[in-house]
Structure 1
Amino acid sequence: MALPGGQIIVTDELAELAQTADALAGVLAHEIAHVELRHGIRRLARVAGLSAVVMLMTGDVSSMTHDMGVLGAGLLDLGYSRGFESEADARGAALMRQSNRDPETLAVLLEKLSERSASGGPSWLSSHPRTEERAQRIREGR
């Protein structure tokens, strides 16, 4: 994962799942794209802005109305987050191509990760687009 300050964290489990240097390069390219595109900072600013709007609308940080507003703001942010993931996938695949690596390795690794985590929840509650869509876009060069 890419942190707002630009640091990238790769877990031992992910490195093991990647199995090849190219697959790991795909994940790093995706995370580098998040840093290049300033997704972490932009998301923090959006969440802060949404929270401020909710507080101004409800006028009371401790009320049930405020809690419901925060929940709604969180759901709005999920769509924004899915957009960031799609952008990072596209830029990561482009970085892979620029370094003469096959973006297919990133698509395959995303599918492996999806099989491991299979949440089964509705896609509109996810912070990431559906894996099938992500893999297809990477394979099509979008």
Structure 2
Amino acid sequence: GTAGKAYAFDNGAYVEVPYAAALRPTSFTLTAWIKPHVASNGNYIYSINRWNGYKFQLQGSNLPFLTINNDNGIHDQDDGGAAVQLDKWSQVVVSYTNGAMKFYINGVMVKNANVTGTPVTLTSPP
């Protein structure tokens, strides 16, 4: 990255990306460099239609957390205990392929969990 070029979010701010069919894959990897200043529930990193699609966020204890709504219901998983440090840059990654959720912090896999089904695929903008 470039110094001074990161986005800073506060009080529910977000960047909105226009709907595109490419945003509804059946498998995906989401990655971001983040530097959280406070721990709170609902620190969203990426979301498409939240409870009817999928969302990647930090929970109150700064655990990376993925929610997927699929043909077998809603599945939530956190990374199992490896928290992201406050006020320090960290790379967080989650992948979802064939029901396997894998969480990484700074290149180290910290959890592998299995769920059934594929993510909800929206046929039109939410």
Which structure shows the bigger proportion of residues in helix conformation? 1
More strand by share: 2
Larger Rg: 1
